[in-house]
Amino acid sequence: MRTRKLVALPLTLLAAGTAGLATAAPASAGVGVTCSFTSTTTARVTSVTLPDPVDAGSTVSGLVTIDRSGGNTGAVEISLAPSSWTRTNACVFVPAGQSSVRFDVAISPVTSEGNYAQVGAYATPDGADYQGATSLIVLR
């Protein structure tokens, strides 16, 4: 059995000059959460989706979809892999008998255009079924 541990970095705001503007540092996953894959049935991630574009500083709903192997119907543990400008749970479960689950993604409050929100997911202990989604972060 192989486990993966995601380490958290705090979301830090840095002052940007005397104009009182703030720029966000990258966000990362939850503190010390370990995905064990001990209760996972055989499955693979087939897709991850995010809305596109996403608003800076917002929370959006992502969707991960799996393909179950051999008629397995139990819960499937999914490891989520956020990137520099996103935060999410480290692990989610696709409920027994279902093929997808929604999860929240916190988007960093960036103050300039050109950043992308990315989230990946996998259901196999080695990450061989990794799928990802990318969305442009916009200012509104």
Q: Can you give the three-state secondary structure of the chain, one letter per residue?
A: CCCEEECCCCCCEEEECCCCEEEECCECCCCCEEECCCCCCCEEEEEEECCCCEECCCEEEEEEEEEECCCCCCCEEEEEEECCEEECCCEEEECCCCCEEEEEEEECCCCCCCCEEEEEEECCCCCCCCEEEEEEEECC
**For the chain, domain boundaries:** 4-138
Instruction: Tell me, yes or no, if the pTM score tops 0.95.
Output: no
Longest CA pairwise span in the chain (Å)? 61
Q: Which CATH number fits domain 4-138: 3.30.460.40, 3.40.50.1100, 3.40.190.10, 2.60.40.10?
A: 2.60.40.10
Summarised one tens digit per residue, pLDDT across range 71-115 is 777 888 999 999 889 999 889 999 988 999 999 999 999 999 899
Summarised one tens digit per residue, pLDDT across range 25-61 is 333 334 335 578 776 568 999 999 999 999 999 999 9
